[in-house]
Amino acid sequence: MNTRRSEQGDGTRVNIRTRGGSLAPGGVVGDGRYRLLAQFGIDERAGAHLWRARDGQLRRDVALTMLVGDPADGEAARAARRTLDRAAHAAKFSHGGVARVLDVLSLGNGITSSEGLLGIVVAEWTKGSDLSDLVTERPVAPATAARMVQALAEAVDSAHHSGLVLGLDHPQRLRLTPDGRLRLAFPGPLPDATLRDDVKALGAVLYLLLTGRWALPGGPPAIPAAPYSPNGRLVPARSLQPTVPAALSALAGRTIEDGGQGAIRTSSAILRVLEQAAEEEERTQLIKQVGDESVDEDGGVWTTKKPVKDAARRRKLALGVTVLAVAAVGILAWLGMMAIDFFQDDPASGPPVNVADEPTTQQADPDQGRQPPESQPPALGEPVQPASVQVYNPEGTGDHVAQAKNAIDGDPATIWRTDQYQQQLPALKSGVGLIVEFDDPINLKQLKIAADSPGTAVEVRVAEESDPSLEATRVVASTELTEVQTEIDLPKPEQAEYVIVWITKLSEDGADHVSEIGELTFVPTQP
């Protein structure tokens, strides 16, 4: 026997001894049945070494999730048994998004105590490429990322209906198949993994594809960790990659997010949003492609990518016609001036004019008949900080009253969130919002809203008191939030001391409805 020292996730080192060599290509495990070919990662949280191996009996390649540890460590042995039991239970599960479990080896059942292993999960080998390699060069296109995660989410949804936890919350356990689908290639969930962990993993995989960053603990060193704000919130994918659609950015963040009412907790909710987001992104890309082409009046296609001789000929013809038209206008103008001069110089061309009978001619106004210049929009001034903010809910108790201050604290990462509603507004009430008060009335011209809540419909209202009825307020602008940053320009400046941001439609989160606002910025005209 040969001995090798390996470090587990807790920093301890154990001896790993295998028949014929160490855990290196060419070594054998599983009582000599599986010859190691190549290592594809280490999930340090469980001391799980991920290998491709050759089954010497059936002469086929397999995926091995080898649980490394000291058999004398009772706690480690119990954790390994829990993982192996879960893997054995998953052997009955069949789905294209998960590699089929072929065998489960444990101490005394395919593994001897001298091998330095606590267990092995044997699964069919998944052809394709590493997920880690895929995101190393650059993030994946949003529509492609949505479709890839959608296939994986279908496997999670099916497994959860069967009461199974898959344990896909580590990028090196996943592989990309030749047909572009993500697959769990190295099964073996952590002993304490939950259904919620699988759902969070879907959000983390989406975030990884969109940004190249891993947002959960215990990721591989080769993949950069996702950034978090000082208050502990994940920085939205859209902030790292502006081309990421708001819907996908919000989906990734809310799926990873543990706390709060905006969190997405089920794979079925993820599937619905992914389908919509993928279709919308694909439609957008198609429109952009079609926009590169124009159709002329004869039905011919003029493409900006492949200019043709007919297009050049048409442009030359159009230029020639334009020159002729300008020349014709010039000639007509010259003939008109000649005619005027002819009649003015001929004294017999009309009756004599009695100048004394005419009213005195005034000096012509040089501006007479000139069109007034177009009115310029008023220039914007510096943002004005409100003196206070409150939740505005004239029909009852406000939503998360203590969070209202987060909407004007200067930090978009701190949020005010509505309650989570089972029905869309106005089923339960007409709306909900925030009312801000200024020390002195401002001449409001623009409102900026930082909010990762696509689909939220807002009205900007002004009021004359701090607690008005809705009927006593006046709508001065409205819009639907589609971006993380939204600028609402009022048609004309509005003098206001109290401004209400009134939500009439909530952002949809699966079967729930909830909206959040990160920051409100009020911009007046220049004094």
What is the rounded distance in angstroms from the CA atom of residue 65 to the CA atom of residue 109? 16
Q: Taken in order 217, 220, 226, 228, is the CA torsion positive or negative?
A: positive
Look at residues 122, 4, 17 and name the one whose alpha carbon lies nearest to residue 66: 122
Contact 284, 277 (CB under 8 A): no
| Residue 415: predicted pLDDT | 92
Angle between the N-to-C axes of helices 142-161 and 246-256, in degrees from 0 to 180, rounded to the nearest 10: 40
Tokens of 199: 């759902």
| Residue 12: predicted pLDDT | 36
| Residue 364: predicted pLDDT | 42
Give the pairing type, strands 508-509 and 388-392.
unpaired
How high is the mean pLDDT in each 10-residue block of the chain (527 residues)? 38 40 81 92 92 94 94 90 92 91 91 84 94 86 91 92 91 93 94 92 96 93 91 90 89 83 78 78 67 46 40 48 54 53 44 39 45 64 94 81 92 88 82 93 94 93 90 93 92 94 89 90 91
Tokens of 338: 């000649």
What is the rounded distance in angstroms from the CA atom of residue 500 to the CA atom of residue 478? 11
CA torsion angle 493 496 499 502 (round to 10)? -60
Contact 477, 447 (CB under 8 A): yes
| Residue 332: predicted pLDDT | 55
Residues with Cβ < 8 Å from 349, sequence gap 6 or more? 343
